[in-house]
Every structure is written in C-alpha cells, then in structure tokens.
Amino acid sequence: MDPLPSRPGRPAPLIRASRALHVGAIGVVLVRPHWWPWALSAVAADHLLLAAGGLWPRSHLLGPNWTHLPPLAAGSPAEAPAPAAVAITIDDGPDPEVTSRVLDLLDEHDARATFCIGERVERHPALARAIVARQHEIGNHTYRHLMRFSLLGPRGVAQEIARAQEAIGVATGEVARFFRAPAGLRNPFLEPALTRANLQLVSWTRRGFDTVNRSAGRVLDSLTRDLRDGDILLLHDGHAARTPSGSPVILEVLPRLLRVLSAAQLAPITLRAALARASVPLLLSSASGVPS
Ligand SMILES: [Zn+2]
C-alpha cells in the first residue's frame, strides 16, 4: 500500500485564539482585578463559540475536517485526468444482517466504500475482514459510539480512539487512517488526539438520516441533491432504519444510489484512495511531521 502523509499538527486558528484569550483574560484580572466581569464574559463567549464548533458536524472551526474529498494533485500534462469521484461512507456496522448484503451490492457495481466502525468489529471480525478483503476501507468511529462523546475530556476522547484503533487492528490487521465522531459531534480535545493517532477527521457533504428516515426515496433524494465530484456521502449499515416493508433502508437506497453515480460518471472510491491521489502539499502545508 502506498505510504500516506502524516497528519498536520498545528491547532486551528480558533483554538490558538482561544488559548491567547484565556492567557489574556488571566493577565487582565491580575493587573486590573475589577475588570473581572469583562474577562469572564470574553471567556464565556469563547466557550460558546467552541461548543458551537463542536456541535456543527461540518464545521472547520476546531481543526481540519473533510467535508469534501481533497483536490487532485496536479499531474503531468500527458497524464490522463483522474475520473470524477465521490466517497460513500457507511457507519455503525458491521451488522450481521446488513453488511454482507451491502458488500455484494458494492461488488455488483465495482464500487468501493469506507466503513466507519468501533466495538462491533470485535463481535463480527469475519465481516470486518471481508470488508478489507473486498478492497474497502475501515475507519475509526470511536470504540463505544457514546452519544456523550463530545462531553468527554482529553483522556476519554483519546481512549475511545485508541480502543477502536486497536480493535480494528486486531480484527483486520489494518491501521485506520480516518475518523468520524458519533453523530459528528466533538469538542476541542478531539483534534490533538487525532493528530497523535495520525487520523484525519471526516464528516460529510450530505447525509440522508437513514437511521431515522424510513423512506428510501427521501434518503436517496437527500444524498443526490446537487451531487458533484468530491462529495462525501453518509449511510448506515448499523442502526439502519427500516422501510415500511421491513427492509433496512440502506439496502434499498444503495442500488439506486450506485446507478445514479454510474449515470453521472462519478466513481465511488475509498477515502484512502482520495488521499493518495490528492494534493499532498495541501495536506502538509502546516504539518510538523514528515511523510510516513
Ligand atoms: Zn455512528
């Protein structure tokens, strides 16, 4: 497998500004104690902004966050341009009822996807190995998929990431390179932990809310509205909602989605494949590490 670049390690501008504001607020209170209400108000406003950045899954305020695939690296003029592509990401599995059928559907269309998983990999290691064997990718989706993940401190965040990374490695021999937070919710402690683990945060361009929406048609409409090159789409093989006929929504959406992508000449590729063909200088622009 091609080597992949290390993650950029520099904090986002908002995080750097936030640190400076905290230091400044302490300094102000030390020099002018009676100004404490202003200092406290500034710190409180800063925390509100940080919380908003974490509760908005597609925000870039807390650090790098893929909401689209990165732009292609410039090739030589003689080189054929890479085909237009999208990434299908499939979360919360593996699921013994759904995942193998998803894999068959992807195979039928020669499509590749990225499955973001956690502790379920320990219950269904054979399915996880099948995902890898069929040339799809596995991403880290935290170990326990806690809905209070964004309320954890730095240690808890790091443990959730490390336990999932280890479980994925034990089951498949793979080292996950991408991370998705449960429901996309996070806090400022996430980005440093991802940098240390060499994981890239990925959210999505569009999602169909297929864990709650029972209409395959509406899920498909949400995913394909304004569909274009570089989109990242989100579906679920775990926690899938059921259509009125009792079928997991993804199994009705995926064949139709793959036909739409084929008609639009958009190749479904893994996130790793997108990174490998991307503009590396973009990714390393603020990196302290070197390609590993
Ligand atoms: Zn999830």
pTM, entire model: 0.88
Start-end of H helices in the chain: 13-31, 36-55, 99-108, 120-123, 125-133, 154-172, 190-197, 216-224, 249-263, 271-276, 280-283
- Rounded Cα gap, residues 260 and 224, in angstroms: 8
Q: What is the pLDDT of residue 2?
A: 45
- In the annotation, is 210 catalytic? no
Residue 181 CA to ligand 1 center (angstroms) comes to 7
Residue 208 CA to ligand 1 center (angstroms) comes to 13
Residue 210 CA to ligand 1 center (angstroms) comes to 11
- Rounded Cα gap, residues 228 and 284, in angstroms: 25
Contact 230, 194 (CB under 8 A): no
Catalytic position from the list 136, 141, 145, 236: 236
- Please state the φ and ψ torsions of residue 116, each to the nearest 5 degrees: -95, 120
Residue 182 CA to ligand 1 center (angstroms) comes to 5
Residue 116 CA to ligand 1 center (angstroms) comes to 8
Q: What is the pLDDT of residue 65?
A: 96
Residue 73 CA to ligand 1 center (angstroms) comes to 31
In the block, residue with structure tokens 């085909």: 83
Q: What is the pLDDT of residue 74?
A: 73
- In the annotation, is 236 catalytic? yes
pLDDT along the chain (292 residues), means of 10: 60 82 85 87 83 85 94 68 91 97 98 97 98 98 97 97 98 97 95 96 96 97 96 97 96 98 97 85 39 34
In sequence order, the 6+-apart residues with CB closer than 8 A to the CB of 69 are: 85, 86, 87, 230, 231, 232, 271, 274, 278
Catalytic position from the list 46, 91, 92, 237: 91
Q: What is the pLDDT of residue 281?
A: 45
Q: What is the pLDDT of residue 286?
A: 37
Q: What is the pLDDT of residue 105?
A: 98
Helix (H) / strand (E) containing 140: strand 137-140
